[in-house]
Structure 1
């Protein structure tokens, strides 16, 4: 994770130097919730904003922590002023972007982990400027944004889905078997994980009709507690006979899996 954030900031800093020619001056700090960190001084290279979701579970917490640590290192060098800002929700992140784009002095660069796919309009607005930007993890994949983005930094989400399907098949999953998928959120990450998963099933004999029988949860938001409650609700909506037909559950994140384990070890599930 530390190397991940270091790479992102290094790319943005190098591109912003070219784009801004070393011009400087601070921007107004964007309004909105979340934690903000700044070097507290005007740096010659200008301000770089790192926009991330709030630390609402382990992974986003790690992103925020390591982004702040890297910002401190960069700020100590004095060439750039890195400001890390966490958004409480997608609307808050949209407001942060609006404020940045309306500032008298534009940022030297933006690193953003988009909250979800509802950020597409805001990402289009960034792409309409000359501000270099990088997207992290949750990618807005449209031609306008992709033409201007410096880099998309992400894991192999399709590979995760593919590997999961291969593991299930190796363990005995057959075409048409009952499957329950507990998704993360409404961003590109679950889309790509499901794509890798279902394409691998299709390559191993699943028909379109069989793929259509796969059951999906509502978005868990990568939250252990939400995943736990959704799993409890799902279990309680089935009969014992129906549950006996499910042998595989694909969770998009270990936090969701931990929620399932908590549900199974608790008393919230009705006793049949």
Structure 2
């Protein structure tokens, strides 16, 4: 088996991509299609984005199993312990390949190593496992989200401004977004990290409201933009701003706040971008539909076909100018 690390920027809406470097997996395949089992492990409804992932993942693994005459396993875990147990169970069933969205990379490392020790190919989706090399990784361009957000802010605020950063969690995903932003933003900007939300809308709203309560009008007026790690986080902040606006007795204003950045691909966020009149709201795509690519990589591994070890799906900017292109009434997310 020969290997060459190859980074390919795969656009999710285009089914075919070309590559000049890939790998193949030499694990002995089961003798008949009925013995082949492709397995998918995803996380539960910690927030809305995994709901979309689960919907697309189940749809895709069913399609692949039907196309090839295989069996499939589809597992959804409420927490890291449950997911670890499910992975061990899949190992014991001797499945042919596992595609996993880890609840938390560090917490799932032992289970991932057990998959590897069992000789079962493992495709990691979205959240990477530290100091671990799976058969393949498929993820969105997290650094690109931070870079593009900073580029937009640089253009909007040539003299700089203060930015509030409202984060997702402590996994690799938000850290990469923060790093991309920090490397790109101009020196005349300042940034305050407000805290972690666990990707939850209500937690984001409370975090922002607590920040507002603790800061004076003069301090609020220094903030020109808010960089959030997810559309749900941005929507939580917008919920707070809407509530403040509706309360005629609320003493503080947000007249200097100009821009709010999100990411993911929430249809509610897209509708808000379309209707918003006061703030410049934009979102960088990070579609749950990317999981379909990860499962297709697993299919290629099972078939002994060449595959990319690292697939990074680029992000696209969604603004009032082009949002109609992204609104989809049939989207599960």
TM-score grouping bracket, smaller chain normalisation = 0.7 to 0.9
How do 1:209-248 and structure 2 match up within 5 A? Answer: 214-248=191-225
CA RMSD of aligned residues (A): 2.8
Quote the Cα distance in structure 2 between the aligned partners of 1:58 and 1:257: 13
1:113 pairs with one of 92, 95, 101: 101
Quote the Cα distance in structure 2 between the aligned partners of 1:15 and 1:87: 29
Contact 1:135 1:152 in 2 (8 A): yes
Quote the Cα distance in structure 1 between the aligned partners of 2:79 and 2:159: 40
2:148 corresponds to 1:163: yes
Contact 1:136 1:152 in 2 (8 A): yes
- Equivalent in the alignment of 2:119: 130
What TM-score, normalized by structure 1, do the two folds share?
0.74
Contact 1:49 1:84 in 2 (8 A): yes
- Equivalent in the alignment of 2:164: 180
How do 1:59-98 and structure 2 match up within 5 A? Answer: 59-77=49-67, 79-98=69-88
Q: Which moved more, 1:121-130 or 1:50-59?
A: 121-130
Quote the Cα distance in structure 1 between the aligned partners of 2:194 and 2:77: 25
Contact 1:115 1:187 in 2 (8 A): no
- Which ranges of structure 1 fall in alignment gaps of 5 or more residues? 8-13, 25-42
What TM-score, normalized by structure 2, do the two folds share?
0.62
Q: 1:191 deviation in Å?
A: 1.0
- SS of structure 1 residue aligned to 2:108: helix
The total of aligned residue pairs comes to 230
Q: 1:243 deviation in Å?
A: 1.2
Quote the Cα distance in structure 1 between the aligned partners of 2:64 and 2:150: 41
1:151 pairs with one of 136, 155, 180: 136
2:250 corresponds to 1:271: yes
2:187 corresponds to 1:205: yes
Contact 1:111 1:135 in 2 (8 A): yes
- SS of structure 2 residue aligned to 1:56: coil
Q: 1:78 deviation in Å?
A: 5.7
Q: 1:200 deviation in Å?
A: 1.0
